[in-house]
Amino acid sequence: MKIRILLVVCLFMIVTGSIAQEFVRGRYADLVFTNGAVWTINPKQPKAQAVAIAGSRILSVGAAAAVQGLIGPATQVIDLKGKALWPGFNDCHLHFMAGGYHLTSVDLRDAHNEEDFAQRIRARAAKQSKGQWILGGDWDHESWPGAQLPSKELIDKYTPETPVFVNRLDGHMRLANSYALRLAQVTKDTPDPLGGLIVRHPRTGEPTGILKDAAIDLVSKIVPTPNEATQMEAARAALAEARRLGVTSIHDMASPEDLVIYQKLHTHRELTCRINAIMPLPEWKRLAAVGIQAGFGGDMIRIGTLKGYADGSLGSTTALFFEPYDDNPKTSGLPNAMMIPEENMRRLIAESDKAGLQVAIHAIGDRANHIILDHFMQVYQANGPRERRFRIEHAQHLHPDDVGAFGRLGVIASMQPYHAVDDGRWAEKRIGHERCRTAYAFRTLLNKKVKLAFGSDWTVAPLNPLLGLYAAVTRRTLDGKNPAGWIPEEKISLAEALEAYTLTPAYASFEEADKGSIEVGKLADLVVLSHDPFALMPDKIPEIRIMYTIFNGKIIYEKK
C-alpha cells in the first residue's frame, strides 16, 4: 500500500513538474554563476546575485554565499563581476527559416537607394549559376530618397536569364523581374487575385514587377522548393544567429516542411533553441484529425497554435483601416483572402478553437483588429469558457474603442517593438497623426491589464532582442527625429519590456510554469549581458553585447 501511495505521489510530481525540483536538491551544481546582477522576472524574488544549475534545470537562486555549498569538485564557476544575468530571450513572433535563408542570400535591407538595390542584385546574379533564383532581400523603399517603389526595369538589364523574386521587409510585397514574370505567365491581362494586387504602369497597364499579398502567390508557386541540404544550411545559420543574440526560445511562423527539418536537427542534437511552431490556420483539420491540441509536444518542439491573416501591412498600404490612407485615398487596405468573406475567418477561428487548438491572427490596421476581436468574442460565446489564450499578431494600429477589448477577452497582444521605431519614420505620412496615437500602444495595453508578448518578426526586423527592448523603452525612430520618443506616452519600463520578451511569450505557448523566469526547477535557459541594462541610460542598450548564452544548462555561445 505504501509503495502504491509513493508511486502515485511520484506520478503527481512528474505531472506537476515538481519532481524536477526535488531531483536537483541535494546534489552539486554543474554550473554556477555568481556575483552578478540577476533579474529573475519572479515577483517573489526579483533580484539575486547567483544562480546554480544542475543538469538542464535551475538548482538555486539567491545570494552568492547561498550557492557556495552547491559547488563541488566538478562544478564550473563563472564570476560575472557585476554583469547581468537574465532569462533567455523568447521571441514571440518570427520567421526562422526565412531568417536562415536571408543569412545565406542577397541582403537588401540596408540598400541606400534604388541604384544600390540594383547593384546588389547584379553582384548576386554574377555569383550564381544560370537560372538559379534570387530570393529574400528584405528591401525597404521607405529608406530611399523619394521612397519610390522599385520596378523590374531597375534590374532586368542585370538579370536577363536569372529569375528574381525579392521581398520587401514586411513580407507583404515582392518585386519580380521580367524573366520571373514570364516564367509565371503574369502579364497585363492577368487579373488581380482576391486579397492581392498586381501593381501596374498607369499608362500601359503592364505589371511593374511589384506584387502585393495574395498576388505574391502568382510567382511564388513556381519557385523551386529548396532541397534538404539547403534547408539544413538555412536552419543552422538561423540557430547560430539565435545563439549569438541570446534567443533560447522562439514562436516560429512555420510550415509543415519546417517541422521536418527541426525534428532532424533535434534528432542529431543540433537544436539549440526551443521552437513553438505555429502552423497556417487552414491546416487546422490536419492537426485536429490526429487529436493535436494547443501545447502538444515537449520542451523542445511544440505545435498546436495556428496563424491566420486578416490584412497586409502598413508599408505596402494593404493593412486594413476604417478610413482611407492619407497618402493614397483610393484605398483603405486589403482584407486577406482568408477574410473573403469575413464569415470565412470567423468559421476558421470557431472550428479551430472547438478542436482545442490555439488561434493567432495577423492584424495590423484598425479595422482588421476590430473584426478579429469581434470574431474572438463571438467564438467565446459560441464555444464556451476555456483556457484558449487567443493571440493577435502585430496589433499595430488600434481604434481607441477596441483597446479595452484585449483585456476583457484575455487576448494576448503579440507585438514587435522595433517596428515602432522603424515605421514611426513614415507612418504619419500614411495615416496621419491622430490615427498614430494608438499605434504600438504598449503603455495603454499594459494599463488595461493586457498580456503583452514581444518578438522581432525577423527577418522583417533584426532578431536582436536588445534592439526590441531599446525600441519599447525609448520609441526613438531610426531617423533620429524623435529623441524623446515617437508617441512618447506609449513608452514602457525596461522591466515591463523584459517580461514581454521572456515570461509572457512562455505564457503565450502555455509554458510559463517551465520557463521565462529564473526560478528553482525551471529550465536553465539564460543569457549573460556585457553590462547591466538597468544601470545604464536607455540609449546605451544597443551597445550591450551577449557574453554567454546558456541553453538546457549548457553554455552554447561565448563571446570571444
Q: How far is CA 319 from CA 140, 142, 206, 327, 359, in A?
A: 17, 16, 25, 14, 20
Q: What's the fold here for domain 1-88+516-560?
A: Urease, subunit C; domain 1 (2.30.40)
How far apart CA 233 and CA 105 sit, in angstroms, is 11
Q: Assign 348 a pLDDT band (cuts: 50, 70, 90).
A: very high
In this predicted structure, the answer to whether residue 333 has a pLDDT above a threshold of 60 is: yes
Nine cell digits for residue 560 = 570571444
In tens, the pLDDT along 173-231 reads 999 999 999 999 999 999 999 889 999 999 999 999 999 989 999 999 999 988 899 89
Task: Check residue 439 and report its DSSP letter.
Answer: B
**What average pLDDT does range 95-102 have in this prediction?**
93
Task: Provide the CB-side half-sphere exposure for 224 (13 A, CA).
Answer: 11
C-alpha dist (Å) from residue 32 to 29, 37, 75, 554, 559: 7, 14, 7, 11, 18
Q: Which of 107-111, 237-241, 381-385, 497-501 bottoms out in mean pLDDT, i.e. has the lowest?
A: 107-111
Contacts of 397 (CB under 8 A, 6+ apart): 314, 319, 321, 364, 365, 366, 369, 431, 435, 436, 438, 439
What was the pLDDT predicted at 386? 93
- Taking the alpha carbons at both ends of the chain, their separation in whole angstroms is 57
Residue type, 478: L
CB 154, CB 118: distance < 8 Å: yes
Q: Which of the following CATH numbers is that of domain 99-220: 3.40.30.10, 3.30.1360.100, 3.10.310.70, 3.40.50.720? A: 3.10.310.70
Residues 407-449: tens digit of each pLDDT: 999 999 999 999 999 999 999 999 999 999 999 999 999 999 9
d(CA 473, CA 492): 5
d(CA 230, CA 251): 22
- Burial bucket for residue 340 (CB in 10 Å: 0-12, 13-18, 19+): middle
Q: What is the pLDDT of residue 26?
A: 54
- From the number of C-beta atoms within 10 Å of its C-beta (0-12, 13-18, 19+), residue 266 rates as middle
Domain locations in the chain as residue ranges: 1-88+516-560, 99-220
DSSP letter (8 states) at residue 479 = T
Paired with 276 in beta bridges are: 251, 302
- H or E element in which residue 404 lies: helix 403-409
User: Tens of pLDDT along 2-41?
Assistant: 333 333 333 333 333 333 444 444 579 999 999 999 999 9
Here the cell at position 335 is 482584407
Asked if the model's pLDDT at residue 291 lies above 60, the reply is yes
Q: Which candidate, 200, 239, 232, 198, places its Cα nearest to that of 216?
A: 198
